Amino acid sequence: MNFFIYSAIFNAFIAGLLGLVIILKNRKELINRLFFALSASVTFWSISYWQWMSSNNEAQALFWVRLLSIGSLFIPIFFFHWILTFIGQNQKHKVFIRILYAIGIIILLFSFSNLFIKDVSPKYIFPFWPNPGILYNIYLAFIYFGLTIYTIALLIKEYRNKGGVEKQSIKYIFFASAIGFSGGATNFFLWYNIPIFPYGNILVSLYPIALSIAIFRYQLFDIKVVTTELLTFLVWILLFIRTLIANTLQERIINGGLLLLMVITGVFLIRSVMREVSQREKLQILTETLSDTNLKLSTRTKYLAALQDFTTSIIESLDFKNTIQSIVNGVSNRFGYLGALLILVSKDGEKIYPAAISQSAASSVALRILPKPLEEYFEFIGQTSSLTAEAIKRGEIQFSGDFSEIFSSVPKDILSRIQKTTGIRLTIAIPIKSKGKILGALEVITAKTKTDISQEELDVLKTLANQIGIVLDNASLFEETKKLSSYKTELLSIVAHQLKNPLVVVKGYSSLVEDNTIQGVDAMKEVFKKVKSAADKLITLLNNLLDLHHIEDGKMHYEFQKLELNKLLKDISDNFQLILSQRKLQFAFEPFAKDANVNGDIYKLSQVFQNLIDNAIKYTESGWIKVKIIDDKKSYLVEISDSGRGISQDLITKLFQKFSRGVEEKQILGTGLGLYISKEIVEAHRGKVWAESEGDGKGSKFIVKIPKLEE
């Protein structure tokens, strides 16, 4: 019997003292308060236990056993709440905690009724052992066992997720709790008449002891101060008791004096320990900051090394497509993401479109799920608020755990499916800027969560996006240079071939005249006609080159005035009569029934129609040419059709580009600039020009659409 009494006293003493010291350390912290509440419950339980064991009648024993059960009722509840606070999950279990306290209070209300503890009766060596009521059974199953097992499960989960010192503290708390609770559990057998005695009681003390070790080794509550205080208080209490129970005055004075001395030295001791601890804490913070900075530096170096490594490799490749492909592959592989995407803003700034996707496993899964090829999922930036568009519009990094937000042109359910299949947890959209312009966004897709992404990693991604900006700029400059160089070649070829031909004609005839080979006025007239025609061609070619120069420089000058299309086209057609009759081509002009007024530059528009009729003549061996004006709501359509060689589907798409010429056109004089210049002029008139042809040999039709003059 004595064993049970002593272990109860021991428990009460240890738990009470520890609880007191912890609450005195910091009364405001919830974690300290809960630990105090827990220790107080254990103390309460232990004191009542001791009293119950020492009871010598049934009523007294029943009273104490009911009190001790109140203690044991709240131990698991406070323990649960304390652990939740320790692992930072209070918020998540807010409602649950409230319900638990409510249940605790309800049982407390019935704690002195038969529902909780029926009565006491002799069991084995115990004269007054309690018998459980219905509420007690509920408490035992759900609170003592259910809740404690749940709490320990939470601890185990936390143990798995954590590392370092925290992991060690959790380990100690886990063992302390497991031992303490199973020790306490040895009490329950006798309640249900199972002959196992509560020898485990002494283990209950192990829980504060194990916690103290945890505290001591892993500084749960700043142990050095705690132990000093604990020991000092212990000495004070002992001396105080000795003073109280002293037999003689002399003994009392000595003990009292000693107590006074110990109080003074104790206070000094505690203070000096506190000072030492606070200094150590400062030092520790410093060390932690240092090692933290060190760690940050080393991750940074690691990222930067990878960054440098792969930017060198992309700079080496100058082809635009290859460059962007290596960018996304590099980001995805070297930084360990699931995938990376490069989204670019179109030249007109209106659209954003996926330009490259990493060749990673996750990407190939995604591409398989997507019903259309990736390039087809462009979106108009003004009409979307997808994650990508927001990053580009705001020029700021955007995050989302929901992959379906990345692009609004792909159906959400498809994106969600991709997210599920590939395990995407986070998408980061980083705007790519260069020279103050946003060129697009780099999308990083990862299995990490936002909290796993450190500031360093974000900084590196931002640096990377800047680098990509430069690389993209360089690559497009290179493309531009490549274009310029092919431009130069085209120009040289024009100068070399097209300009040379008329000059050869001029020179040839001039020599004939010089040599007196040509005799007579009529023959001479013929020669000069040919020389003039060659000179005209030269002038046209040179004018085309000059126009090109003006267009490229944005210096094409227009003088708009009211023009009547019937008259304009009639005059132009008349000028072609001679050549038409020489080429034996039929010509028909179908004017508009009324005046067809437009706002235009007479020289520039004439140039367009002349060029189109000239082309029709050039590219029609025999047959007819027709010019017609048609009404088209707010515009006029001028159609120039011929029965000539027609245009292949392949050529028709690039007809209006610079230097674009049919493959068989080498024999026919031309620069491939006429249609390009015509298009520029028509567009400056807010109009459109396009070609239609059913194919080779089937004739062509060129249509110019010009807005009507608003009168």
Angle between helices 602-618 and 565-582 (to 10 degrees): 30
Q: Tell me whether residue 154 or residue 652 sits nearer to ligand ADP (CB atom).
A: 652
Span of 328-336, 345-353, 576-584, 669-677 interacting with ligand ADP by CB under 6 A: 669-677
3-state secondary structure of 57: coil
Query: Exactly one of 352, 671, 681, 703 binds ligand ADP (CB under 6 A); which one?
Result: 671
Alpha-carbon torsion, ordered 344, 350, 353, 356, to 10 deg:
-20
Neighbour-count burial of 530, counting CB atoms closer than 10 A to its CB (0-12 exposed, 13-18 middle, 19+ buried)? middle
Site track for ligand ADP across 630-659, x = CB under 6 A: ------------x-xx-x-------x----
Instruction: Kindly state the smallest distance separating residue 678's Cβ from ligand ADP, in Å.
Output: 7
Instruction: Kindly state the smallest distance separating residue 660's Cβ from ligand ADP, in Å.
Output: 6
Q: Tell me whether residue 400 or residue 660 sits nearer to ligand ADP (CB atom).
A: 660
Instruction: Kindly state the smallest distance separating residue 671's Cβ from ligand ADP, in Å.
Output: 5
CA angle 578, 584, 587 (to 5 degrees): 70
Instruction: Compute the distance between CA of residue 458 and CA of residue 464 in angstroms, rounded to an integer.
Output: 10
Give the binding-site size for ligand ADP (rule: CB under 6 A).
21
Q: Tell me whether residue 180 or residue 670 sits nearer to ligand ADP (CB atom).
A: 670
Q: Tell me whether residue 469 or residue 670 sits nearer to ligand ADP (CB atom).
A: 670
Instruction: Compute the distance between CA of residue 564 and CA of residue 636 in angstroms, rounded to an integer.
Output: 11
Instruction: Compute the distance between CA of residue 280 and CA of residue 97 in angstroms, rounded to an integer.
Output: 37
Nearest CA among 247, 89, 268 for reference residue 161 = 89
Q: Tell me whether residue 73 or residue 673 sits nearer to ligand ADP (CB atom).
A: 673
Query: Exactly one of 90, 317, 409, 660 binds ligand ADP (CB under 6 A); which one?
Result: 660
Query: Exactly one of 35, 44, 80, 619 binds ligand ADP (CB under 6 A); which one?
Result: 619
Query: Exactly one of 256, 591, 662, 707 binds ligand ADP (CB under 6 A); which one?
Result: 662
Span of 194-202, 239-247, 395-403, 608-616 interacting with ligand ADP by CB under 6 A: 608-616
Site track for ligand ADP across 553-592, x = CB under 6 A: ----------------------------------------
Q: Tell me whether residue 77 or residue 625 sits nearer to ligand ADP (CB atom).
A: 625
670 near ligand ADP, judged by CB under 6 A: yes
Query: Would strands 635-642 and 700-707 be described as parallel, antiparallel, or unpaired?
Result: antiparallel
Instruction: Kindly state the smallest distance separating residue 648's Cβ from ligand ADP, in Å.
Output: 9
- CB distance 136 to 162 below 8 Å: no
CB atoms within 10 A of CB 508: 13
Instruction: Kindly state the smallest distance separating residue 439's Cβ from ligand ADP, in Å.
Output: 33
Instruction: Kindly state the smallest distance separating residue 643's Cβ from ligand ADP, in Å.
Output: 10
Instruction: Compute the distance between CA of residue 569 and CA of residue 365 in angstroms, rounded to an integer.
Output: 60
Q: Which helix (H) or strand (E) holds 539?
A: helix 521-553
The dihedral sign for the CA sequence 217, 221, 225, 230? negative
- Give Dmax over CA atoms of the chain in angstroms: 164
Instruction: Compute the distance between CA of residue 221 and CA of residue 277 in angstroms, rounded to an integer.
Output: 12
- CB distance 622 to 584 below 8 Å: yes
Q: Which helix (H) or strand (E) holds 702?
A: strand 700-707
3-class SS string, 256-317? HHHHHHHHHHHHHHHHHHHHHHHHHHHHHHHHHHHHHHHHHHHHHHHHHHHHHHHHHHHHHC
Backbone angles phi, psi at 627, to 5 degrees: -120, 130
Instruction: Kindly state the smallest distance separating residue 603's Cβ from ligand ADP, in Å.
Output: 18
Q: Tell me whether residue 215 or residue 616 sits nearer to ligand ADP (CB atom).
A: 616
Query: Exactly one of 16, 139, 700, 703 binds ligand ADP (CB under 6 A); which one?
Result: 700
Q: Tell me whether residue 266 or residue 644 sits nearer to ligand ADP (CB atom).
A: 644
CB-nearest residue to ligand ADP: 670
Instruction: Kindly state the smallest distance separating residue 640's Cβ from ligand ADP, in Å.
Output: 8
680 near ligand ADP, judged by CB under 6 A: no
Q: Tell me whether residue 461 or residue 681 sits nearer to ligand ADP (CB atom).
A: 681
Binders of ligand ADP among residues 190 to 219 (CB under 6 A) are: none
In angstroms and rounded to an integer, the radius of gyration of the C-alpha atoms of the chain is 47
Q: Tell me whether residue 326 or residue 700 sits nearer to ligand ADP (CB atom).
A: 700
243 near ligand ADP, judged by CB under 6 A: no
What tokens does 367 get?
């591409």
Nearest CA among 454, 448, 412, 416 for reference residue 338 = 448
Contacts for 656 with CB less than 8 Å, ≥ 6 apart: 675, 676, 678, 679, 689
627 near ligand ADP, judged by CB under 6 A: no
Span of 33-41, 210-218, 319-327, 664-672 interacting with ligand ADP by CB under 6 A: 664-672
Q: Tell me whether residue 604 or residue 645 sits nearer to ligand ADP (CB atom).
A: 645
Instruction: Kindly state the smallest distance separating residue 465's Cβ from ligand ADP, in Å.
Output: 42
Instruction: Compute the distance between CA of residue 631 and CA of residue 618 in angstroms, rounded to an integer.
Output: 28
Query: Exactly one of 426, 460, 616, 681 binds ligand ADP (CB under 6 A); which one?
Result: 616
Instruction: Kindly state the smallest distance separating residue 697's Cβ from ligand ADP, in Å.
Output: 10
Integer CA distances (angstroms), 567 to 92, 558, 563, 705, in order: 84, 20, 8, 17
What tokens does 587 get?
């010509």
Query: Exactly one of 183, 266, 672, 687 binds ligand ADP (CB under 6 A); which one?
Result: 672
Instruction: Kindly state the smallest distance separating residue 623's Cβ from ligand ADP, in Å.
Output: 11
- CB distance 442 to 356 below 8 Å: no
615 near ligand ADP, judged by CB under 6 A: yes
Q: Tell me whether residue 51 or residue 607 sits nearer to ligand ADP (CB atom).
A: 607
Query: Exactly one of 155, 410, 468, 675 binds ligand ADP (CB under 6 A); which one?
Result: 675
665 near ligand ADP, judged by CB under 6 A: yes
Instruction: Kindly state the smallest distance separating residue 651's Cβ from ligand ADP, in Å.
Output: 6
Instruction: Compute the distance between CA of residue 588 and CA of residue 569 in angstroms, rounded to an integer.
Output: 11
Instruction: Kindly state the smallest distance separating residue 691's Cβ from ligand ADP, in Å.
Output: 7
Q: Tell me whether residue 359 or residue 610 sits nearer to ligand ADP (CB atom).
A: 610
Q: What is the binding site for ligand ADP (CB under 6 A)?
A: 611, 615-616, 619, 642, 644-645, 647, 655, 660-662, 665, 670-676, 700
